[in-house]
Amino acid sequence: MQTLFHLIIHPFRNARDATTKNGRLNLNLILSKDHAIPKGIKRVSFGSELGGVHLSSNRAAARPKVLVFGPLQPPEVACGISSAVRAFAGSQVRNFYNIELISTFRPQRERNLLQRIAFGMWLTIKTAFRVASSGAALADIHTVSDRNLLSHAAIMFGTRLAGRPAMLRIHGGDFHQVFEKAGGFNRMLIRLILRSATRVIVLSEWWRSRIAAIEPRTAIEVIPNSVDCQAFKRLGSRPYRKCRRILFLANFCERKGHFDALDAISKLAANYSDIVLALAGEDRDYGTRKRIECEAERLGIQHQIEFLGTVSGESKDQAIRDADILILPSHTENMPVSIMEGMAAALPVIATRVGAVSEMIEDGETGFLIESRDSDALAQCLERLFCDINLAHQIGQNAQRHARATWDANVVAEHSIALYVRVTAEGISHAA
């Protein structure tokens, strides 16, 4: 059967060349190597119009089917939600359910109001038909704030129209801000979306309180993001050495705090001339990289800044392996995958108290927490790690243990499996 949403899926035309090898798919053309398709995911089919990707599990007929929707982007585009969705699909959840992973990524395009309404109606009806005809037990929809919320809401409404439970997982760090900035009609629509989902899944208790404040009638569950901790553990075997190489793993945009990082480096450069700040990411807000270059030159630290570009697969592994410290001084976040990956690789992490980050890091034990836009505090934490190699090592080891116990893909999968069982049972009970 062709992939569901031809109009919302990225044109992976070259992906038709994907073949199997040693029982695994060779999907490097469409999926980043850092989350290769695991054993248990065996089949791929492609839509005829835009080449959408559709993956399903081995031994599919023996298990209930779950449609998992998420904006899986191509390898050259850095995206935390793509990493999180792939980690989820590769977890032990596939041992209990037939997972069909459907990418909802599509290039942004402008639509007027009538076009948006028509598209939403078409998508809702198309989803209802797809869910009903596939025999899916439920749909698990991963969405990111305002960028694809309405499209994913249409998928959610279509799933409910087909009489199936619909999980809506909210990623992205600015959902509450999107709601606050919205007009009266859009606020009403967001509230309707939240209370219409069978469950709204958020990544932390902090986000539970924010969503409950927007719509108290929302049925909320807390399930964090996950990473393949075993894979990142192999990157954490680094020798004792001076902590001087700092990795900033984030796309270039104003809210990530790149200019705070530059300010912190400039405060330390005179005493630590061997500092290197490695910036890995895409120029998401076009022109931000040029501004960073100009600011580094103004501060006289241009020779201590290294631009890695967008990293994935081996290049991301190498960036993490080479690093001594990971920083993320963001102004707003949800539950950053880069922090999870850094901690899983035994890197000491310095991050701001935004979103779920304060729940991810125990200050002084598994990393360091600072206030947003506080470059002085960032500089102080960096210098503390520069001066105490043993502390940096201990923080990294503590972080790695915490990551394995909390965010490993198989650990987190247990929560999703339990939720799937509950909502499916509720649906059967209501139908009876």
Q: Per residue in 169-197, pLDDT tens?
A: 998 777 878 888 888 888 999 999 999 99
Evaluate if residue 412 carries a pLDDT over 70.
yes
Rounded Cα distance between 37 and 25, Å, is: 7
Distance of alpha carbon 8 from its chain centroid, rounded? 19
List pLDDT tens digits, range 400-409: 999 999 999 9
What's residue 228's pLDDT? Answer: 87
- Helix, coil or strand: residue 293: helix
Domains, the chain, ranges and CATH?
Answer: 13-226+409-431 (3.40.50.2000), 229-406 (3.40.50.2000)
List pLDDT tens digits, range 286-312: 789 999 999 999 999 999 999 999 898
What's residue 21's pLDDT? Answer: 33
Instruction: Let me know how many helices (H) and strands (E) the chain has, helices first.
Output: 15, 16
Q: Please give the helix or strand (H or E) that residue 406 lies within, else none.
A: helix 389-406
Evaluate if residue 20 carries a pLDDT over 60.
no
Evaluate if residue 115 carries a pLDDT over 50.
yes
Mean per-residue pLDDT, 90-95: 87
Mean per-residue pLDDT, 213-224: 95
Distance of alpha carbon 87 from its chain centroid, rounded? 10
Mean per-residue pLDDT, 138-166: 89
What's residue 77's pLDDT? Answer: 61
Evaluate if residue 57 carries a pLDDT over 80.
no
What's residue 83's pLDDT? Answer: 77
